[in-house]
Structure 1
């Protein structure tokens, strides 16, 4: 049993907690201690669980179950040697106790010896009729080993024991998805639904599989049945909304997303999707209202800030776009997409130093796209910082060797600094990699393009 503070005052848990506040030691039978410890472990109150174990063993020193709780605490605290020693003692006392094998397997699992954990759990299977939890544990060990077929079979056995074990059902579908077995997942779910036609979770998962295959008509039907089975199933309404969006039925999608807002706390996902739907319907006022609601609900959701920024970007209201992307950066300065948008909008506002800073930050955050290197380097050229531009493009070559666009820029920069040998080296490289990009010299370095040395080299390659 599990305790609640709302239960009657004569419960062992209430008595135990009262005892802790006084110096009086009260007596509990071993089963009461087990229930108290189980409650604290479920609540994550490890210190109280340890107190209960100590007091329990003081009163019942021979209780194997209480000593097994002590093993569980040892494992939790990574005291695996102590746990193993105590388990060996308990095995000598009660070799037919399946919980000893479960804890032994837990130790092996903690040591990443998942194969041995599976073998021990299989021995435990032979000692009990309550196999559901054991199959689940064995399935999880197979998952640790990326043995998805074996894991799948274990979770199927869980579902055979209890058709409402939705955790097992989710794990089965996870295995199918990892193995890219969408058709097999659909076949399995349909078979399961033949026996359990009102299982909303199975209908929901079936709809997601059809969605993966872009069979939106069948996906919609599956989500309809999920909602018929449980008309408060928020996930089914959300998925149904996604399908309706794919079918360009945006008003109906909005209806489904809106239902989720009434059934549960508003989610930023639903608010954002409603905004996108209104945007598709050309209702810009309502679209941006829902984008605002999205970031109000979840200020850390980057998609919300990006939606607002891009909305104003499309409206050519770059000042507002710049304002909101700055707000986003103030909340999360490590978001690469924010900095890319910041740079693009800064350029449109002719804020070239800010744009260069944005591209530099983008690179520092590990976004090494070619366009980022080129954009930053071109801005440094525009800002009159040729040495910094050269350093930028030389770094870019480490990621994009034999790239003509970079080589022509390095050629132009070196010629402009009268580093003619270096300029010739990079110009020849550029011509060798791709002659079609010679226009870069004309556009970015018109003075260099008029140099006789450059003109002659370009003519001989025409």
Structure 2
């Protein structure tokens, strides 16, 4: 039981803290010590909890519950051997104490021995009348083992025992989502809501499931019921806004997002969506205003920086787009999407060295999309670096073997560097894979197309 400073039963806590200040040892019964320790642990005040356990055991050396609190602290401090030794001693004295098995399971879980942890928890299940928490703990152990069906079963058992354990409900939905069982999730939530028709959490989850299967009208109804059940449920307003956006009803979506701001501190997600809705409604000044609020609220949210960069790109205001993407890169230089935008904007501005740098960085960060390789190679060609372009495209061909766009470029580049045999080899490959892409040679390598050998190959396959 968590102690409340305003309650009479808080007198032992006040007395205990007074004792610590004066160093006068006072007597408490074991139950009072247990409440004091529980209070400190629930507040995260481990040092004070340890003092209370120590003094408690000095006054009540046979108290099993205080010793179990000591085990809990040992586990928290990763002193697993000490915890295990003490549990073994307690097991000898009280082999039917379910808390011993629960703490044993906690140790086994920390050691990644989740199967044995489940066995220990099932033993605790046999010994206790308070089964809800243990069902939940078993479910978590199955999650650690990626056993989602089993986890779902035990979370459901938990929810059957305590219909208001919403953490169990969230975990059930997590399992359904991971298993891609949206239809089954909808059926389960519908049944649950028959017994709990005003459960805003269940309506919210039902709306999300309908959203996943793109049944937006039913999703909207579910979110409306969530709001009826709790008109201050921010998550329901945000999700309703997302549905309305999908239905292209941007004015109503905007109202939902604005309402969410009135209920609590602004979230970067809501600010971003407000900006997007204003943009869709053609209200450009308001859109920019909210995009700026988004990046101010959460500078680490990449979607905010990308939104304002895309906005200015669409307006063909490339200088401002470049300004914002540079600021984004300064915050997170390992964001591959930032570098792709950086490259594209510089490309539009004809800043070829910077554009090439952007595409190269994107590749280094693992963006192996075909257009990244091709655009970088084309820029290297324009920069007069055909050998670097060849090396880049040879790397690309490892990811996209037998790709005509790569082969035509390699052919043109090898002919440009006077390696005619290699140029011929890649041109034959390119023509075999896709003759229609031959225009790539004409566009990028007009001099190469006029070579007799190339003309003959093109004619022979036309």
- Give me the TM-score of the superposition, normalised by structure 1: 0.94
- Residue 126 of structure 1 aligns to a residue whose secondary structure is helix
Matched, 1:394 2:388: no
Counterpart mapping for 1:41-56 below 5 A: 41-56=41-56
How far apart, in 1, do the equivalents of 2:429 and 2:275 lie?
49
How far apart, in 1, do the equivalents of 2:365 and 2:423 lie?
31
Counterpart mapping for 1:191-210 below 5 A: 191-210=191-210
- Comparing 261-270 with 183-192, greater Cα deviation is found at 183-192
How far apart, in 2, do the equivalents of 1:358 and 1:63 lie?
66
Judged with a 3 Å threshold, the aligned counterparts in structure 2 of structure 1 residues 93 and 343 are, in CA distance, closer, same or farther, namely same
Shift of 1:107: 2.0
How far apart, in 2, do the equivalents of 1:438 and 1:298 lie?
48
Shift of 1:157: 2.3
Judged with a 3 Å threshold, the aligned counterparts in structure 2 of structure 1 residues 5 and 300 are, in CA distance, closer, same or farther, namely farther
Q: Which runs of 4+ in 1 moved over 6 A?
A: 5-10
Contact between 2:193 and 2:202, CA under 8 Å: does it hold in 1? Answer: yes
1:37-95 deviations in whole A, cap 9, x for unaligned? 32332233333333333333233222211211222223233333322221111001111
Shift of 1:316: 1.0
How far apart, in 1, do the equivalents of 2:238 and 2:446 lie?
56
Which residue of structure 1 lines up, in the alignment, with residue 59 of structure 2? Answer: 59
Shift of 1:13: 3.7
Which residue of structure 2 lines up, in the alignment, with residue 172 of structure 1? Answer: 172
Counterpart mapping for 1:89-108 below 5 A: 89-108=89-108
Which residue of structure 2 lines up, in the alignment, with residue 30 of structure 1? Answer: 30
How far apart, in 2, do the equivalents of 1:399 and 1:215 lie?
38
Judged with a 3 Å threshold, the aligned counterparts in structure 2 of structure 1 residues 111 and 385 are, in CA distance, closer, same or farther, namely same
Gaps of at least 5 residues in structure 2 are none
Judged with a 3 Å threshold, the aligned counterparts in structure 2 of structure 1 residues 79 and 125 are, in CA distance, closer, same or farther, namely same
Shift of 1:179: 2.4
How far apart, in 2, do the equivalents of 1:59 and 1:396 lie?
74
Shift of 1:16: 3.8
Contact between 2:40 and 2:48, CA under 8 Å: does it hold in 1? Answer: yes
Gaps of at least 5 residues in structure 1 are none
Judged with a 3 Å threshold, the aligned counterparts in structure 2 of structure 1 residues 353 and 18 are, in CA distance, closer, same or farther, namely farther
- Comparing 270-279 with 28-37, greater Cα deviation is found at 28-37
Counterpart mapping for 1:74-85 below 5 A: 74-85=74-85
Which residue of structure 1 lines up, in the alignment, with residue 232 of structure 2? Answer: 232
- Residue 52 of structure 2 aligns to a residue whose secondary structure is helix
Matched, 1:307 2:307: yes
How far apart, in 1, do the equivalents of 2:197 and 2:457 lie?
77
- Residue 130 of structure 1 aligns to a residue whose secondary structure is coil
- Residue 56 of structure 2 aligns to a residue whose secondary structure is helix
Judged with a 3 Å threshold, the aligned counterparts in structure 2 of structure 1 residues 17 and 357 are, in CA distance, closer, same or farther, namely farther
How far apart, in 1, do the equivalents of 2:386 and 2:440 lie?
15
How far apart, in 1, do the equivalents of 2:6 and 2:422 lie?
81
How far apart, in 2, do the equivalents of 1:40 and 1:430 lie?
72
Matched, 1:419 2:394: no
RMSD: 2.1
How far apart, in 2, do the equivalents of 1:4 and 1:305 lie?
45
Contact between 2:114 and 2:142, CA under 8 Å: does it hold in 1? Answer: yes
Which residue of structure 2 lines up, in the alignment, with residue 246 of structure 1? Answer: 246
Contact between 2:3 and 2:9, CA under 8 Å: does it hold in 1? Answer: no
Counterpart mapping for 1:72-221 below 5 A: 72-221=72-221
- Residue 146 of structure 1 aligns to a residue whose secondary structure is coil
- Comparing 425-434 with 305-314, greater Cα deviation is found at 425-434
Counterpart mapping for 1:428-447 below 5 A: 428-447=428-447
Which residue of structure 2 lines up, in the alignment, with residue 262 of structure 1? Answer: 262
How far apart, in 2, do the equivalents of 1:121 and 1:411 lie?
66
